[in-house]
Structure 1
Amino acid sequence: MGTIGVHEFITIDGIISEPTWTMDYPFDPKMGDAIGAMMAGCEAILLGRTTYEGFAPAWSSRTAEDDPGAPFFNDTPKYVVSGTMTDAEWRHSTVLGPYEPATIQRLKDRVDGGIYVSGSGRLVRAMLADRLVDELHLFVFPLALGSGQRLFPAAGGPERLALAGCESYDSGVVHLTYTAA
């Protein structure tokens, strides 16, 4: 049975939308190591439509020489949750259809190993609410934006999580790893 591990860049006030603000912070090689370690045990990638549509053109033409993460993103089976997409052109991609907890559970049952999720805020919020996320990796940037798409909406119920790890970087970014409480 597979496990779902989510990776999010997030501000201290919980904003995850359009993380172009991360460019103001130097990328610490230890952060790259942490993300690489998360991807290392993964046999599949799960994305929402918006993130998929951003990742596909960004990663599909990259090679290992361009970025060491390119083989993972290009060669790993990718599953897209979308109620509007019918075709996924990036190689090794399958459209699962609209979000249904049972569909995600069946994917977890089929995959031996980790299932990597990056971004995909609406999908992640739904999976958290349905208790389908096994590990939540938050890379918290020392910035408050005040508005934007939040990982945890104000109208949502309480999400109880257990801290499984914590690491800080010279840039001020903190990597917090949570599991279900």
Structure 2
Amino acid sequence: MTDVTPRRERRVAAEVTVSMDGYSGTGPEDDMSWAMAHIASEESELHYEGIWRGVSTALLGRTNWEGFSAVWPTITSHPDSSARTRELGEWLATVEKVVFSTTLEPGELDHPEWTNARASRDVVGEVTSLKARAGRDIMVLNSASIIQTLLRANLIDDLYLTVLPATLGGGTRVLPEGFASTWRLASVATFPASGAVALRYQRP
């Protein structure tokens, strides 16, 4: 008997940690010290695991690629890392990764410990094509410029904002200027230890 069950279209999620005043970082040299207590907590690990296990394609920009691929192999293999952290590191190392950049040269994504990565210059075209392919969901890894481009193109289905109890006073904004939209609150999670609140919004 032929299976005629319709295939669910892949959803595109954006997951990002933001300050109370709406910034995801202070700039290129941001060490994320304002967010690390939360990011490294067991509460955060458990929450984030519930997101990434449903994802089979990760999207990131060149800066995040260079930072993540430089530090995560060490984190993954460190004996003090938790089991969840090691599993996340292994997922990051092997999951399909699309790195958006206009300056990447051939071979720059070759990495002995971070595989399955390719470069693209067309954010909207690439994500539209990915949504039409079979697979689990697609997630942007904390890249504000990609999130803004996809928001303007109405290509983000789930917006995960983890708001930390800190203000940065300036830096990189997640939401684009002049962008108006309406969302539905899908879930809320609180983290008593860090004071963070995780909000999941979906397009209505």
Scaled by the length of structure 1, what TM-score is found?
A: 0.89
Aligned to 1:138: 161
Output the CA distance in 1 between the equivalents of 2:24 and 2:39: 18
Which letter maps to 1:38? I
Output the CA distance in 1 between the equivalents of 2:57 and 2:23: 26
Provide closer, same or farther for how the CA distance between residues 64 and 127 of structure 1 changes in structure 2, counting only shifts above 3 A: farther
CA contact (8 A) 1:5 1:38 kept: no
List runs of 5+ in structure 1 lacking aligned partners. none
Larger radius of gyration: 2
Aligned to 2:6: none
Which of 85, 100, 118 in structure 2 is aligned with 1:94? 118
Output the CA distance in 1 between the equivalents of 2:55 and 2:33: 26
1:27 Cα deviation after fit: 4.2
The two structures, once aligned, show a CA RMSD in angstroms of 1.9
Report sequence identity in percent: 25
Output the CA distance in 2 between the equivalents of 1:72 and 1:131: 27
Question: Do residues 116 (structure 1) and 139 (structure 2) align?
Answer: yes
Output the CA distance in 2 between the equivalents of 1:8 and 1:131: 18
Scaled by the length of structure 2, what TM-score is found?
A: 0.80
Give the secondary-structure state (helix, strand or coil) at the position aligned to 1:6.
Answer: strand
Which letter maps to 2:181? E
List runs of 5+ in structure 2 lacking aligned partners. 1-8
Which of 139, 144, 163 in structure 1 is aligned with 2:185? 163
Matches within 5 A, 1:1-181: 1-17=9-25, 18=30, 19-25=32-38, 27-61=40-74, 62-63=76-77, 66=81, 67-68=85-86, 69-86=88-105, 87-90=108-111, 91-96=115-120, 98-153=121-176, 155-170=177-192, 171-181=194-204
Aligned residues between the structures:
179
